Chain A
Amino acid sequence: AQSVSQHNHHVILSEAASLELGCNYSYGGTVNLFWYVQYPGQHLQLLLKYFSGDPLVKGIKGFEAEFIKSKFSFNLRKPSVQWSDTAEYFCAAHNFNKFYFGSGTKLNVKP
């Protein structure tokens, strides 16, 4: 079965700092990859997705992610975070009708 690992469980940054959240997946075949964000008390919302093509994917709110097949990684980045980016971030992989989620990374941005 597929598995998704997020190694940063809790990240604290100051506003304007750069962000990189790690995500690794286990399946070596064709896989679709996603990053979701969950603001406090809300449901998950899609930030960006990768299916094929350009490995650098741009999403909403200035986020981007890079798919590196050789490293089984799909790390999320943002050059300059804002206080409003405080949320929990989930990486997910999809194959064979199922989605597999990482355990999440809580990001706390200090004003």
Chain B
Amino acid sequence: DAGITQSPRHKVTETGTPVTLRCHQTENHRYMYWYRQDPGHGLRLIHYSYGVKDTDKGEVSDGYSVSRSKTEDFLLTLESATSSQTSVYFCAISDPGRGYNEQFFGPGTRLTVL
């Protein structure tokens, strides 16, 4: 498995609180992605990064922000968590420039917003 870790793995929080999820990689891949997985929707892209401090929005970016201050870490922040953000969050990495065209996924973070 690719060297991708996510923390925390499980979190329960209350509506209105800020939450930060961390993705850490040891593969030096250029691209990092955050997805949410919900039943019937597959994986939906929240934000992605194509380099340090270079990020872009995905299809479900409202209510989420990201930051990437170094290659190995990609943070996802829920500014003010809502119950609709209860989901499983997956981080992924890729690096087409080095031949890694496919994505490698982290183990996921299960977030529950009460």
Task: Give me the interface of A with B, judged by CB distance under 8 Å.
Answer: 1, 6, 9, 32, 34, 42-46, 49, 51, 90, 92, 94, 97-104
Return the chain A residue nearest B56 by Cβ. A97
* Residues of B within 8 A of A (CB-CB), count: 25
> What is the bound-complex CA distance between A92 and B94, given in angstroms?
14
Which among B42, B50, B56 is the interface contact of A101 at CB below 8 angstroms? Answer: B42
Instruction: Tell me, yes or no, whether B58 is within 8 Å of chain A by CB.
Output: yes
Instruction: Tell me, yes or no, whether B70 is within 8 Å of chain A by CB.
Output: no
- From B13-21, B60-68, B71-79, B101-109, the one touching the partner chain is B101-109
In the complex, the answer to whether B90 meets A51 with C-beta atoms within 8 Å is: no
> What is the bound-complex CA distance between A66 and B33, given in angstroms?
27
In the complex, the answer to whether B105 meets A104 with C-beta atoms within 8 Å is: no
Count, A-B residue pairs, CB within 8 A: 50
Task: Give me the interface of B with A, judged by CB distance under 8 Å.
Answer: 31, 33, 35, 40-45, 48, 50, 56, 58-59, 90, 92, 94, 101-108
Given contacts A43-B107, A44-B90, contact A98 B58 (CB under 8 A): yes
In the complex, the answer to whether B90 meets A94 with C-beta atoms within 8 Å is: no
In the complex, the answer to whether A43 meets B106 with C-beta atoms within 8 Å is: yes
In the complex, the answer to whether B50 meets A97 with C-beta atoms within 8 Å is: yes
Given contacts A43-B108, A99-B33, contact A94 B101 (CB under 8 A): yes
